[in-house]
């Protein structure tokens, strides 16, 4: 019997608890089992890992292979566990050995990546959140090359937040790889992977959050004054007028009146976007989000939820603007669901296995038409 352990993290809302991927190789009939509350995607990793190991010119061990994702009471989802499982098998079988000269302990190194059948490393969602918590714990982290820009944003944010070159040099160590072979060569010390360095401070600029500016609008003096007061005091805004009066045009320029986002606010917004279904766009870092859901949106899509408890529109607009056009066309239950998050600034989603909280500090903007116009239409 031989055992190997590889460290990574799961994703539960905006939390990324540490997961130890324990691999045990025993003699007996060929069986490949994964335990520890794995989702269907994690169970399917058996075929991806087997093909990736074989196509990377390694030998897949014969006999009984048991993968334990510890702690066992945390749900595990996604393809991020492919690389830790493959590395655990290769380490337990002795085909890959860790360089004894490496100054970092194995338990302080985290690995992430979905494996293609040829051993290629593919991007995984929620990497920014996992990297941020790994950095706080002082762990070294290895991510797919496709997630490198996402991690660079985090490194730039940490460097800007600290603002001292001495601390930057002692910051978290992060690396990126594009293939299983590159990771194995790094572990045995034959071809070390370079560390990711943050972009220069002057290249990381926080913008006001919108390309649209209120100076583009001619006239509308009273509406501009209302927007300015709402932005200065953090008030919600309701605009009423006939179609074509400029309600949506003015609302899209509200973020331009808000102050630039701080580094901490930018990282909060980026982390929420990273765990959402759409993922995080590196080009939007530092921009205040603007969300404009359609009036047919359900309560779950607005406040968040689902079996995986993803953030809703109100959380995706955190530190930004949520604009509800044609307010009275929204379902009443959906609007009622927004009331508590607007008051508390937090969305709480309870499930049988876990409880998740997403922030929802937003500037709410709404528009509607006069009753006479609605009757005509």
276 and 287 in contact (C-beta within 8 Å)? no
pLDDT tier at 110, thresholds 50, 70, 90? very high
DSSP three-state, residue 283: helix
- pLDDT at 38 > cutoff 90: yes
Q: What is the pLDDT at residue 98?
A: 92
Q: pTM for the complete prediction?
A: 0.85
Q: What is the pLDDT at residue 150?
A: 87
Selection from 218, 101, 197, 100 nearest residue 148 by Cα: 197
Range from 103-107, 162-166, 199-203 carrying the lowest mean pLDDT: 162-166
Q: What is the pLDDT at residue 202?
A: 41
132 and 154 in contact (C-beta within 8 Å)? yes
Query: How many CB atoms within 10 Å of residue 277?
Result: 10
* Range 164-173 average pLDDT: 50
* Range 320-347 average pLDDT: 92
DSSP H or E segment with residue 263: helix 263-275
Q: State what percent of residues in the chain have pLDDT above 90.
A: 60
Supply the DSSP string of 158-184, one letter for each residue: HHHHH--HHHHHTS--EEEESBHHHHH
Q: What is the pLDDT at residue 156?
A: 67
Number of H helices, E strands in the chain: 14, 17
Q: What is the pLDDT at residue 206?
A: 44
- Kindly report the average pLDDT of the chain as a whole number: 87
- pLDDT at 355 > cutoff 80: yes
Span 216-250, pLDDT tens digits = 888 889 989 999 999 999 888 999 888 888 899 99
Q: Two tokens at 283?
A: 């080009």
Range from 175-189, 191-205, 309-323 carrying the lowest mean pLDDT: 191-205
Range from 29-38, 109-118, 178-187, 282-291 carrying the lowest mean pLDDT: 282-291
């Amino acid at each position: 019997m031989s055992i190997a352990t590889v460290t990574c993290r799961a994703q539960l809302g905006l939390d990324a608890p540490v997961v130890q991927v324990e691999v045990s190789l025993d003699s007996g009939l060929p069986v490949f089992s994964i335990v520890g509350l794995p989702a269907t995607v994690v169970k399917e990793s058996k075929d991806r890992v087997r093909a990736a190991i074989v196509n990377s010119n390694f030998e897949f061990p014969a006999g009984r292979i048991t993968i334990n994702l510890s702690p066992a009471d945390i749900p595990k989802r996604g393809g991020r566990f492919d690389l830790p499982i493959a590395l655990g098998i290769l380490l337990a079988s002795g085909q890959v050995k860790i360089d004894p000269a490496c100054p970092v302990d194995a338990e302080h190194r985290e690995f992430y990546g979905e494996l293609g059948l040829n051993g290629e490393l593919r991007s995984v969602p929620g990497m920014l959140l996992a990297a941020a918590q790994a950095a706080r714990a002082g762990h070294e982290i290895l991510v797919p090359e496709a997630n490198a820009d996402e991690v660079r944003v985090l490194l730039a944010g940490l460097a800007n937040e600290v603002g001292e070159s001495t601390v930057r040099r002692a910051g978290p160590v992060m690396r990126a790889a594009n293939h299983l072979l590159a990771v194995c060569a790094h572990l045995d010390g034959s071809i070390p992977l370079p560390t990711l360095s943050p972009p220069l401070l002057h290249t990381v600029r926080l913008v006001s959050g919108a390309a649209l500016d209120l100076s583009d609008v001619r006239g509308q003096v009273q509406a501009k004054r209302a927007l300015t007061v709402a932005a200065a005091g953090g008030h919600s805004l309701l605009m009423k007028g006939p179609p074509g009066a400029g309600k949506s045009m003015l609302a899209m320029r509200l973020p331009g009146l808000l102050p630039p986002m701080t580094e901490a606010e930018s990282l909060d917004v980026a982390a929420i976007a990273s765990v959402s279904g759409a993922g995080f766009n590196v080009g939007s870092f530092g921009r205040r989000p603007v969300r404009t859901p359609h009036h047919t949106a359900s309560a779950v899509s607005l406040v968040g939820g689902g079996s995986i408890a993803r953030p809703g529109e109100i959380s995706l607009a955190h530190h930004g603007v949520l604009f509800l056009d044609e307010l009275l066309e929204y379902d009443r239950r959906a609007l009622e669901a927004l009331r508590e998050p607007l008051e508390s600034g937090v969305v709480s989603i309870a499930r049988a296995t876990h409880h998740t909280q997403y922030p929802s500090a937003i500037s709410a903007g709404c528009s509607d038409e006069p009753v006479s116009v609605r009757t005509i239409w």
